[in-house]
Amino acid sequence: MTLPQRVEAGEVIGQALAESDHFPDLKTQIIGELWLRDLEFTAWRVLYADHRSDDPAGRTAFLDAWTSV
């Protein structure tokens, strides 16, 4: 994702989250950026978990399931 795309995605996500009344005092761009960071962190954790498996068939099944979402 390019920086302009990231900024725009953060703004859209932030607007949706701000409208939910959970974060009424934060700027929408900040909320969106935090959400994107959490999403990226989760993806990295999943990839890391994949590398810990010693079972090649299980690893392949895990990656297939993750990428098909």
pLDDT in tens, 15-43: 777 776 666 666 777 878 888 888 888 87
Higher pLDDT, 52 or 56: 56
Residues 17-33, buried b or exposed e (16+ Cβ, 10 A)?
Answer: bbeeeebeeeebbebbb
Please give the Cα distance from 2 to 9 (Å, whole number). 10
Q: Do residues 33 and 18 make contact, with C-beta atoms less than 8 angstroms apart?
A: no
Please check whether residue 32 is in contact with residue 17, taking contact to mean a CB–CB distance below 8 angstroms.
Answer: yes
Closest Cα to residue 36, out of 13, 68, 16? Answer: 13
The pTM (predicted TM-score) of the whole model is 0.50
pLDDT band, very low/low/confident/very high, at 8 (cuts 50, 70, 90)? confident
